[in-house]
Structure 1
Amino acid sequence: MHLPEPLRMPDGANQAESWVAARQAESFLYAVREANTAAIVGLMILADTSEFDATVTLRLGYLFGQFAWGHGYATELVKGLVQELDQFGWSG
């Protein structure tokens, strides 16, 4: 697994709840849902790291269940995010 330690999902319901709370405290956390069923297939994490950079900077992270790998969810996620940001005049 190629994730930094803070982004690794822990085992167990209580630990997962703490992990989600920690991500929400430091970033914007969104559920990624399958369009037809609304089932959660992953998470998107957007972090504003402008305080560390000279310009407004958003960092994107995403996590998907292994069952969702290779089905284009990440591609659709990034395309949709770029479209939304474009509507607000943000360019990266």
Structure 2
Amino acid sequence: MISSLVIGIISLVAGLALRYWINRRKFYRRSHSGAEGFSSYEKQVTIKFLERVGKWIAYALIIFGLLSVWVYSREKKAIKTEQSNQK
């Protein structure tokens, strides 16, 4: 029961941190005019692809974390109702 809470919090924090890190890198890559600067076309394509995949992984981690925390709350509520029914 506690493991679902711990896994949920860890994956939620990891997903949010990954999303923050990707957006921060993207922000600092911009020039004063707002254009992103890359040294070559290949580097731009590779970095943009990896960032896109990273964002999808971050979204998956966030959703998994939220679902794990939800499962924990449902388990806790079920145990509470079971204990109150036994009394």
Please, what TM-score do these two structures have when normalized by structure 2?
A: 0.31
Higher helix share: 2
Higher strand share: 1
Pair member with larger Rg:
2
Q: RCO higher in 1 or 2 (8 Å CA, sep ≥ 6)?
A: 2
